[in-house]
Amino acid sequence: MSNSHNAQAAKPNQWLGLLGGGQLGRMFCMAAQSLGFRVLVLDPAANGPAGSVADDQVLADYMDDEGLAQLAARCVGVTTEFENVPALALDTLSKSIPVSPSAFSVGIAQNRIDEKAYIQKCGVPVAPHAAIRQTADISIALEPLLPGILKTARLGYDGKGQVRVKSLDEVQKAFVELGQVECVLEQRLPLLKEVSVIVARDSMGECATFPVAENHHRKGILATTVVPARIDESMGAQARANAIAIAGALDYVGVLCVEFFVVDGMGLVVNEIAPRPHNSGHYSIDACVTSQFEQQARILAKLPLGSTRQHSPAVMVNLLGDLWFTPEGEEREPNWPAVLALPEVKLHLYGKEQARVGRKMGHITIVAAELERALEVAQMVRDILGIGQDDD
CATH of the domain at 237: 3.30.470.20
Is 117 within a domain?
no
Same-domain pairing of 26 and 72: yes
What's the pTM?
0.94
Q: What is the pLDDT of residues 295-324, one digit of tens each?
A: 999 999 999 999 999 999 999 999 999 999
Same-domain pairing of 93 and 181: no
Q: What is the pLDDT of residues 9-46, one digit of tens each?
A: 999 999 999 999 999 999 999 999 999 999 999 999 99
Three-state SS at 147: coil
Q: 45 vs 19, 22, 58, 72, 333, CA distance in Å?
A: 12, 10, 10, 20, 25
- In the structure, what pLDDT confidence band is assigned to residue 274 with cuts at 50, 70 and 90? very high
Residue that is last in its domain, among 137, 167, 187: 187
Give the distance, in angstroms, between the CA of residue 351 and the centroid of all CA atoms in the same chain. 19
Same-domain pairing of 65 and 161: no
Q: What domain range includes position 31? A: 3-109
**Residues in binding site:** 112, 151, 156-162, 186-189, 194, 217, 271-272
Is 123 within a domain?
no
CB atoms within 10 A of CB 232: 9
Mean pLDDT on 117-121: 92
Q: Is the pLDDT of residue 86 over 70?
A: yes
Same-domain pairing of 149 and 219: no
Is 81 within a domain?
yes
Is 391 within a domain?
no
Is 57 within a domain?
yes
- In the structure, what pLDDT confidence band is assigned to residue 122 with cuts at 50, 70 and 90? confident
Same-domain pairing of 96 and 132: no
In sequence order, which residues have a C-beta less than 8 Å from that of residue 27 and are 6 or more positions away? 277, 282, 285, 291, 293, 348
pLDDT at 263 (0 to 100): 95
Residue that is last in its domain, among 75, 109, 143: 109
- In the structure, what pLDDT confidence band is assigned to residue 7 with cuts at 50, 70 and 90? low
CA distance 39 to 50: 10
- Tell me the torsion sign for CA atoms 371, 373, 379, 384: negative
Same-domain pairing of 93 and 178: no
Same-domain pairing of 206 and 233: yes
CA distance 367 to 317: 11
CB neighbour class for 159 (10 Å; exposed up to 12, middle 13-18, buried from 19): middle
Cβ pair 260, 271 in contact under 8 A: yes
CB neighbour class for 327 (10 Å; exposed up to 12, middle 13-18, buried from 19): exposed
Same-domain pairing of 93 and 180: no
Is 116 within a domain?
no
- In the structure, what pLDDT confidence band is assigned to residue 336 with cuts at 50, 70 and 90? very high
Is 263 within a domain?
yes
Q: Is the pLDDT of residue 159 over 80?
A: no
Domain count for the chain: 3
Same-domain pairing of 227 and 367: yes
> Is it true that the peptide bond before 12 is cis, omega within 30 degrees of 0?
no
pLDDT at 273 (0 to 100): 94
**Residues in binding site for ATP:** 112, 151, 156-162, 186-189, 194, 217, 271-272
Is 101 within a domain?
yes
Same-domain pairing of 360 and 213: yes
pLDDT at 93 (0 to 100): 96
CATH of the domain at 103: 3.40.50.20
Residue that is last in its domain, among 149, 172, 187: 187
Q: What is the pLDDT of residues 180-239, one digit of tens each?
A: 999 999 999 999 999 999 999 999 999 999 999 999 999 889 999 999 999 999 999 999
Same-domain pairing of 215 and 105: no
Same-domain pairing of 209 and 268: yes
Give the distance, in angstroms, between the CA of residue 222 and the centroid of all CA atoms in the same chain. 10
